[in-house]
């Protein structure tokens, strides 16, 4: 772990493991979760990414005091399932790349859907677009590469896979993820508090809808 100054009000924590280490008690997500549980008064804001966590100091807290707190934080293992607290996202599994994902993983279409729905995902971090969450899962059978060529238009609500992550496009945009399904859930709404449905640390379960 390395602590790097990030301006005069924040520290960037670099971790050796990415989000996959969170289930084993390590990684950026596990470090961010430890901070949330301990809630030290020196910490103002926590922003996890794949292998880093940006920590902003609370008002009037010297950066040196924040660094001392962060040195003692140890990542925690995340629970596999938060039960009723998990956000459920209904999905119609008819994505354009479902057959390609099946071929890449060696699974049938039905087994891909089962693998996607039978595990609990967790929002590791946000990015790319407002409301887009990078979801880390428990089953590495669904780790697939991005498409060789990105699409210029991916419909809002498209559910995809890329690398070790799953994601849902909150709005129409270009994208190179492998599309396996679609949902009608509104992921980002400025009239909602908070606007983003999928925030770092939130547990997610996908539910198959047949049409």
Mean pLDDT across 125-141: 90
Q: Count Cα atoms within 13 angstroms, Cβ side, for 1.
A: 18
Closest CA to 49 of 31, 35, 63: 31
Q: What pLDDT, on the 0 to 100 scale, is given for residue 183? A: 98
3-class SS of residue 130: coil
Tell how far CA 64 is from the center of its chain. 30
Pairing of strands 10-14, 2-6: antiparallel
Q: What pLDDT, on the 0 to 100 scale, is given for residue 160? A: 98
Share of the chain above pLDDT 90, in %: 68
Separation in Å, CA 19 to CA 28, 94, 178: 6, 28, 20
Cis omega (within 30 of 0) for bond into 34: no
pLDDT tens profile 80-132? 444 447 899 999 999 999 999 999 999 999 999 999 999 999 888 888 889 99
CA distance 123 to 112: 20
What are the residue ranges of CATH 2.40.100.10 in the chain?
A: 83-208
Rounded to 5°, angle at Cα 195 from 20 and 45: 55
Q: What pLDDT, on the 0 to 100 scale, is given for residue 85? A: 74
Mean pLDDT across 39-58: 91
Q: Using an 8 Å Cβ cutoff, are 28 and 51 in contact?
A: yes
CA distance 91 to 56: 36
pLDDT at 168 > cutoff 50? yes
Task: Supply the pTM of this predicted model.
Answer: 0.75
Mean pLDDT of the chain: 89
Q: What pLDDT, on the 0 to 100 scale, is given for residue 83? A: 43
Least confident of 30-44, 70-84, 146-160, 191-205: 70-84
Q: What pLDDT, on the 0 to 100 scale, is given for residue 36? A: 86
Pick the CATH number of 2-71 from 3.30.499.10, 3.30.1360.40, 3.40.30.10, 3.90.180.10: 3.30.1360.40
Separation in Å, CA 183 to CA 1, 83, 90, 159, 171: 38, 21, 6, 7, 11
pLDDT level of residue 177 (50, 70, 90 thresholds): very high
What are the residue ranges of CATH 3.30.1360.40 in the chain?
A: 2-71
- Bridge partners of 188? 196
Q: What pLDDT, on the 0 to 100 scale, is given for residue 158? A: 98
pLDDT at 21 > cutoff 60? no
CA distance 75 to 131: 25
The CATH homologous superfamily for domain 83-208 is Cyclophilin-like (2.40.100.10)
């Amino acid at each position: 772990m390395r602590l790097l100054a990030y301006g005069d009000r924040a520290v960037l924590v670099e971790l050796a493991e990415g989000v996959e280490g969170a289930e084993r008690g390590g990684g950026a997500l596990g470090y961010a979760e430890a901070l949330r549980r301990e809630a030290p008064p020196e910490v103002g804001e926590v922003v996890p990414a794949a292998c880093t966590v940006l920590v902003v100091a609370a008002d009037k807290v010297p950066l040196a005091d924040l660094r001392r707190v962060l040195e003692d934080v140890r990542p925690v293992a995340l629970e596999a399932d938060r039960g009723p607290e998990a956000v459920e996202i209904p999905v119609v599994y008819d994505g354009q790349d479902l057959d390609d994902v099946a071929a890449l993983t060696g699974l049938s279409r039905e087994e891909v859907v089962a693998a996607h729905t039978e595990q609990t995902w967790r929002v590791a971090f946000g990015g790319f677009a407002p409301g887009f969450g990078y979801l880390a899962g428990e089953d590495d059978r669904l780790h697939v590469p991005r498409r060789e060529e990105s699409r210029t238009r991916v419909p809002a609500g498209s559910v995809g896979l890329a690398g070790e992550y799953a994601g849902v496009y909150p709005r129409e945009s270009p994208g190179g993820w492998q599309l396996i399904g679609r949902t009608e859930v509104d992921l980002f709404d400025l009239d909602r508090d908070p606007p983003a449905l999928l925030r770092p640390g939130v547990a997610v379960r996908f539910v198959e809808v047949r049409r």
